[in-house]
A and B are shown apart, each in its own frame.
Chain A
């Protein structure tokens, strides 16, 4: 029994040590962001601030606010649209299977893994052609299109868990494709929508490659603006840390309040087809 107690203690020590490692960046970020600039020095980096100075948040907010709103305008419609599209696709591919449906599904799925560099040049040409280059709607469109694989996968797996008998009996009662979706699948898939929405929200908010290549200056989402902030001449670390925190806040809040669904999305994103 004694030995068990010791080994338990040992486990706690490892867990706490690892937790400190994982929390260290957050600590430094928080502490630095509330320091006045003259305290952001090498020697004091790990120390708590002597006084709270919120001016770095003011500076960061003034610089990042427009881009923050760009990200909001981008992420809300893109998330809703791609969740809707994914739900319909998942419904068809799980409950209305036809010959070759699995092949089509696998072909769709591949789109989830491609490096987006491999479609970027034609994508930009295309967006220029239709006049959506350097616009938020252009980015929304891109995220909806390249979100199809993952949202389809997630809804397909989710709907696979709904028993086929339910659909069959609804068919006997005379319900068709749309009625079954509207009155059976949709009410049952609230959780599915939450999981997919969180996943898409997080990914689109955090996305960088499309954002940096498709938009410039005033149209840029927050991640690009944050990157530019750190690329500027004079490195004001307190402002940068405040900016990083601002940019991270929405997804962190989602994680804090809806963590369960977040992790479920994480697992659903790891192909089980």
Chain B
């Protein structure tokens, strides 16, 4: 597939260095030729395929036999009236907010801790980072057991008189009705959040540590001279300086959380009453298990949209800010 285009044999007149006009030399053509296959691939496999999915989402293809006749917004309208999809949207929202919130607080806290020049710092750092090397599937399988209502952490908690059903719990905290669903925090989601936090906090720690290391010592020195306590230095100076990193962490965690699939698929599945279902799982099941391709495509397009809302402004602004 990786066919490298040969350079068009232009007149190979070597442009003298003195003429600094933007004249394309053979080398420029070569450079463009080497980039072309990737650009073509990305345009087909990302943009072209997104377009095709969008087209499928507007079709009647809801069986094994492809039927691309135009259905209008039927599939989307169906989804927004669908109990399962409404529950998915609630779950995604709750999951994203809890997950990002905890990752940011914990990531910042651990990074600041590691920045205190403790002995054995590298050991602690390695311990906080290592889950990043694991697959969401492994995390899911292990935490599925740890948070199993009859085993795992519960045996431990029972000694303290606590008893939880974790991801099998169907309770929804502080609920009110919105559409067909109970809107609130499904307790079962908290179990998944714990596993996700365990896996992804290392990322935030790494980013915050890099940020902390980039703050020149003079900044702290100057504040100390002015009589600020260590706590004040963090609260008033360091943490505000870390804000751009927080933005990056939010963006990265949000796009992971909005499209999450494997962790939930491996750990809980949709759950009773869809308390732990997310669009990623629904899309997979409806498309590849139920053969409702058009419905699946519509879910995928909504997922894409939710990610794009975060990513597109970020990409545009980081391009302006960068180079």
A244 neighbours in B (Cβ, 8 Å): 138, 141-142
CB of A118 within 8 A of CB of B301, answer yes
Which A residues are in CB contact (< 8 Å) with B94?
none
Q: Which of A48-56, A72-80, A171-179, A185-193 contacts B (4 or more CB under 8 A)?
A: A171-179
A237–B145 contact, CB under 8 A? yes
Q: Is the CB of A111 within 8 A of B42?
A: yes
- Interface size, chain A (Cβ < 8 Å): 93
Contacting residue for B315 out of A8, A109, A230, CB 8 A: A109
| Bound CA span A227–B252, Å | 26
Q: Which of B164-172, B174-182, B291-299 contacts A (4 or more CB under 8 A)?
A: B291-299
Residues of A within 8 A of B83 (CB): none
Interface membership of B319, Cβ < 8 A: yes
- Tell me, yes or no, whether B70 is within 8 Å of chain A by CB: no
A173 smallest CB distance to B (angstroms): 11
- Cα A273 to Cα B317 in complex, Å, equals 10
Find out whether the CB atom of A223 lies under 8 angstroms from the CB atom of B42: no
A46 to B1, CA, bound (A): 52
Tell me if A271 counts as interface (CB < 8 A to partner B): yes
Is the Cβ of B151 less than 8 Å from the Cβ of A270?
no
Residues of B within 8 A of A8 (CB): 116, 118
One digit per residue, 1 when the CB lies within 8 angstroms of any chain A CB and 0 when it does not, for chain B 146-168 equals 10001110011000000000000
B134 in contact with A206 (CB, 8 Å): yes
Who on chain A is nearest to B7 by CB? A177
> Counting CB contacts under 8 A, is A194 at the interface?
no
Q: Are A108 and B28 in contact (CB under 8 A)?
A: no
Interface residues as binary, B35-57 with A (CB distance below 8 Å gives 1, 0 otherwise): 10011011101111110110010
Alpha-carbon gap, A155 to B314, bound state (A):
20
* Interface 0/1 of B234-275, CB less than 8 Å to A: 000000000000001001100100110110011000000000
Closest to B245 in A: A270
A119 touches B46 (CB 8 A): yes
Q: Out of B132, B135, B287, name the residue touching A121 (CB < 8 Å).
A: B287
Interface: B105 (CB within 8 A): no
Q: From residue 286 to 319 of chain B, which have CB atoms closer than 8 A to chain A?
A: 287-288, 293, 296-297, 299-301, 303-304, 307, 311-312, 314-316, 318-319
A2 interface residue per 8 A CB criterion: no
Q: Which of A77-110 contact B (CB under 8 A)?
A: 81, 85, 88-89, 91-93, 96, 98-99, 102, 104, 106-110
| Chain B CB within 8 A of A61 CB | no
User: Is A22 close to B, CB under 8 A?
Assistant: yes
A263 touches B129 (CB 8 A): yes
B226 CB-CB contact with A under 8 Å: no
Most buried by A among B2, B133, B307: B133
Task: Determine if B207 and A270 form an interchain contact, defined as CB atoms under 8 angstroms apart.
Answer: yes
Instruction: Find out whether the CB atom of A117 lies under 8 angstroms from the CB atom of B284.
Output: yes
Contact between B311 and A110, CB atoms less than 8 A apart: yes
B284 to chain A minimum Cβ distance, whole angstroms, is 7
Q: State which of A15, A92, A107 has its C-beta within 8 Å of the C-beta of B118.
A: A15
**B74-82, B120-128, B183-191: which one contacts chain A?**
B120-128
B248 and A113 within 8 A (CB)? no
How long is the Cα–Cα vector from A149 to B34 in the complex, in angstroms? 15
CB pair B265 A266 closer than 8 Å: no
Taking a contact as CB atoms under 8 Å apart, the answer to whether B145 and A120 are in contact is no
Contact flags A20-34 to B (C-beta < 8 A → 1, else 0)? 011111001100100
Considering the complex of A and B, which 9 residue pairs feature the smallest CB-CB distances, nearest first?
Answer: A206-B135, A115-B259, A96-B31, A255-B133, A119-B49, A208-B262, A177-B27, A117-B300, A122-B52
On A, residues with C-beta under 8 Å from B are 8, 11-12, 14-15, 18-19, 21-25, 28-29, 32, 42-43, 45-46, 81, 85, 88-89, 91-93, 96, 98-99, 102, 104, 106-111, 113-123, 126, 141, 145-146, 148-149, 152, 160, 171-172, 176-178, 202, 205-209, 212-213, 223, 226-227, 230, 237, 240-241, 243-244, 247-248, 251-252, 254-255, 259, 262-263, 266-267, 270-273
26 of the cross-chain contacts (CB-CB < 8 Å) are: A11-B113, A18-B128, A28-B152, A29-B142, A42-B150, A42-B151, A45-B151, A45-B155, A88-B38, A91-B31, A99-B22, A107-B43, A111-B45, A115-B258, A118-B50, A121-B52, A121-B293, A121-B296, A122-B56, A176-B30, A177-B30, A206-B136, A247-B137, A248-B134, A271-B318, A273-B319
